[in-house]
Structure 1
Amino acid sequence: MAHMVYPGAVHSRFEHSLGVYWLAGQAVHKLKTQGLELGIDRFDVQTVKLAGLLHDIGHGPFSHLFEREFLPQVLNGYKWSHEQMSVKMVDHIVDKHHIEIDSEAIRRVKEMILASSEFASPKSTREKHFLYDIVANGRNGIDVDKFDYIIRDCRACGLGCNFQFQRLMETMRVIGDEICYRAKEYLTIHKLFATRADLYRTVYTHPKVKAIEIMIVDALLKANDYLDIASHVQDPSQYWKLDDTILKTIEIAPDQELREARDLILRVRRRDLYQFCNEYTVPKDTVENFKDVTAQDIVCSQKTSGVILREEDVAICNVRIDLTRGRLNPLESINFFKDYDSEEKFSIPDDRISHLLPTSYQDMIVRVYSKKPELVGAISEAFENFQLKTYGIKPQVHATPEKKKRRM
C-alpha cells in the first residue's frame, strides 16, 4: 500500500470527492474483515461510499471562504452550512433525475454527511454508529476526508508529509461500536493533526492567501446586491449553478453596478493585493477569553498621524489554528486498544504521552492589512497601539519594515 495512487491525488473538489469515495470504501471493507459480529453488509458499504462521494456537494464558490467569510455578512444571522446544503442537493438530484434508490439508503447517506456538524442526528438513533465516523467524524476528527486532503495538499504544495494514514487503516478495530486504534499508533494520530495544523499555518492561512481571500470576499459583497448571489443558497435548483466561475462572470460583465467588484478582481489578477502590515500571536494565557479584533478596534487606536483612518481602509484577519478540537487535545477523545487479543478500549491522558508533544493545542493569530498602500504606516502604528492597550506589550515579533511604511 505504501506506493499506491488513489483518485484524490489530483487537487480539485471533484477529485477530492472521488478520493474520499475510494478511501471510504477501503475503510469499511477493512472493518468488514474484522468478523461477522459487526454485521457490515453490502448496504452499509454502499451508503458509506456514497456519503464519501457526496459529502462536499453543498460547497459554494471557493468552498469554506463562501461559507465562513461571505455568507455571514449577507445572511443576517441565518445559519447555513455546506453539510445541510449537501443534504438538500442530494434530495434535489434524486428528485430531478428520478433516481431509483432505496429511501433508507438516502436517509443513511444524509445522516453520515451531517455526522460531524451541529445538525447531526442523535447518536441514540443511529445503527452501527461506527460507520458514521468514517467519512465525517464528529466524535474525534479522524476520518478519510482528512486523509485525502492532507496527502493531496502536501503533495500539491511540495511539502513533506510524514503522516501515514495506511497505518491507521490497517490497525483500526471496532470495540463497543467505536473505531479504536492500536495504542502504539498514538504518535501517528498526532502527526495527522499536526500535519493538518501545519498546512493551515503555512498554506491555507498564509498572509498572501488571506489577502487574496479578503479581496475576493469584498468583490462578492460588492456584487451581491446586483447579482443577488446570496439568494441562491435557499434553492438547490439554482445553487448548483453557483461555482468559482462567479468571478469570471463579474470580471467580464459590462454593467456599471459591478465596476467596484471588477476593479478588485483585476487587482487580484495583477497581484496588487491588500498590503499585509503585521501580525501577532495572542498570548497563551488570554486565548480563552479572546474576542475577534475588528477594524474599528484598530481605527480607534490611532493616536497621531498625518491621515485619518477609516474602518473601510483596514482589513482584519483573526486566524484560529488548532488540532481539530479547539483548545482541547484531540488524543483525549480517541480510544485505543493494547493488542489484537484485547477487547478493552482506553484513552491515553496527557501525562502518559511524550513530553515533547505540545501542552497547548490552539493558536490565535491576528493579522492586519491595509487596503491602500499609502496607509500601511498609519495602520501599522495603530495596530501596535492596540496591542499595547490590550496586553501592555507588543506580542508581534517583528516591526513593520520602514520601506513598506513609506510606500506610496
Structure 2
Amino acid sequence: MRVMGDEICYPAKEYLSIHKLFSARADLHRTVYTHSKVKSIELMAVDALVKANGYLKISSYPFDPAEYWKFCNEYAVPKEKLEHFKNITPQDIICSQKANGINLKAEDIVVSNVKIDLTRGKHNPLERYQNNALVFGDFLKTLVHWLDTEVAVTFLHGYVTSISFFKDYYSEEKFNITDDRISHLLPACCQDRIVRVYAKKPELVEAVSEAFENLQLKMYGVKTQVHETPEKKRRRA
C-alpha cells in the first residue's frame, strides 16, 4: 500500500484481498448493521429518546453531545479480583464520597460495567470443556453413583479434556494442544471488566470523579484508573 497523488493505492496482486475487504464490509452492513430487527430496535430507541427529551433535555446539545452526560473516568478491574467482582452501582460511588459541600444522588450518576471476553470468561475458549468440568464437578461425581463405572469414566474423560485437533485431512489421529505449546504470548486471562462513570451534570464532574477515586482506594487499596480526570474537565461547568 502506498499514497500516490493523495490517494491510497494497493498492489495489483492484492486485488482480490481488497475486494474481499469491501465485500465483507458490505455484507456486515446488510446482515448486521442494517438488519431489519436491528433497525426496528434503533427506531424504537429513537421514539424513546424523543419521549424522554422533555425530562433529559437531549435536544439542548445537538452539536455538542459531550455536554449531555459527562464522562468522568474508568478503570479496569484487576484480574485477581475478577472472580468475585460485583457490578459497581451509583450508590457505591455515593458511599465513597467525602465531605466537599456537594451531596451526590443516585440520579446524578451513571455507571457502565463492561465485560469483554473470548466467550468463556477468564478461560481459554479452546479449553472450555476442562473449565466446565470444574463448574459441574459435583454433578459429575453424582453420576458415578448411578452410572456404570466404565460409562462414567468415559463420560468424565470426554468432559474434562480440551478440544481436540488433527494434523491434516489425511490424518485420523486427534490430539489436544495446550497454549504454551503454541506461544508464550497468549493471554493468561481472557477477560476484561471495565467500569466507567458519568456525571449527568457538568458541575458534578469533579465530585463524581473524586468519589470514583475513593471507591477504587477502598476496594483495591490503589487507584486502578490510568490517570486522574483532566483538570479542565473537572472545572468546566
CA contact (8 A) 1:332 1:347 kept: no
Distance 1:260 1:12 in 2: 36
Instruction: Work out the number of aligned pairs and report it.
Output: 186
For residue 112 of structure 2, what is the aligned residue in structure 1?
317
CA contact (8 A) 1:329 1:361 kept: yes
Q: Percent identity?
A: 50
Distance 1:12 1:389 in 2: 44
Higher relative contact order (CA 8 A, sep 6+): 2
* Corresponding residue SS for 2:82: helix
5 Å matches for 1:127-142? Answer: none
Instruction: Please identify the structure whose Cα radius of gyration is greater.
Output: 2
5 Å matches for 1:3-402? Answer: 3-5=18-20, 7-10=23-26, 15-16=30-31, 59-60=37-38, 242-246=40-44, 248-249=46-47, 259-260=54-55, 263-264=57-58, 267=61, 270-271=64-65, 272-333=67-128, 334-402=163-231
Q: Which runs of 4+ in 1 moved over 6 A?
A: none
After TM superposition, give the deviation of residue 258 of structure 1 in Å: 5.4
Q: Could you give the per-residue CA deviations for residues 382-401 of structure 1, whole angstroms, max 9, x where no partner exists? A: 01111111111111120111
Distance 1:315 1:252 in 2: 20
Distance 2:178 2:62 in 1: 47
Distance 1:252 1:324 in 2: 35
Distance 1:305 1:397 in 2: 24
Distance 1:252 1:278 in 2: 28
After TM superposition, give the deviation of residue 250 of structure 1 in Å: 5.6
Label 1:340 to 1:322 Cα distance change in 2 as closer, same or farther (>3 A).
same
Q: Could you give the per-residue CA deviations for residues 10-55 of structure 1, whole angstroms, max 9, x where no partner exists? A: 2765x1259xxxxxxxxxxxxxxxxxxxxxxxxxxxxxxxxxxxxx
Gaps of 5+ in 2: 1-15, 129-162
Label 1:268 to 1:341 Cα distance change in 2 as closer, same or farther (>3 A).
farther
CA contact (8 A) 1:274 1:370 kept: yes
After TM superposition, give the deviation of residue 9 of structure 1 in Å: 1.7
CA-based RMSD of the aligned residues comes to: 2.9
After TM superposition, give the deviation of residue 244 of structure 1 in Å: 1.9
Which residue type is aligned with residue 25 of structure 2? Answer: A
Distance 1:2 1:11 in 2: 15
Distance 1:324 1:332 in 2: 11
CA contact (8 A) 2:179 2:186 kept: no
Please say if 1:407 is aligned against 2:223: no
Q: Could you give the per-residue CA deviations for residues 281-302 of structure 1, whole angstroms, max 9, x where no partner exists? A: 1111111110000000001111
After TM superposition, give the deviation of residue 326 of structure 1 in Å: 1.1
Label 1:251 to 1:376 Cα distance change in 2 as closer, same or farther (>3 A).
closer
After TM superposition, give the deviation of residue 260 of structure 1 in Å: 2.0
Distance 1:395 1:347 in 2: 37
After TM superposition, give the deviation of residue 404 of structure 1 in Å: 1.2
Gaps of 5+ in 1: 19-55, 62-241
After TM superposition, give the deviation of residue 339 of structure 1 in Å: 1.6
- TM-score when normalising by structure 2: 0.68
Distance 1:12 1:267 in 2: 31
Label 1:376 to 1:252 Cα distance change in 2 as closer, same or farther (>3 A).
closer
Distance 1:402 1:315 in 2: 20
Label 1:252 to 1:289 Cα distance change in 2 as closer, same or farther (>3 A).
closer
CA contact (8 A) 2:53 2:59 kept: no
Which residue type is aligned with residue 313 of structure 1? Answer: D
CA contact (8 A) 1:337 1:346 kept: yes
After TM superposition, give the deviation of residue 60 of structure 1 in Å: 5.0
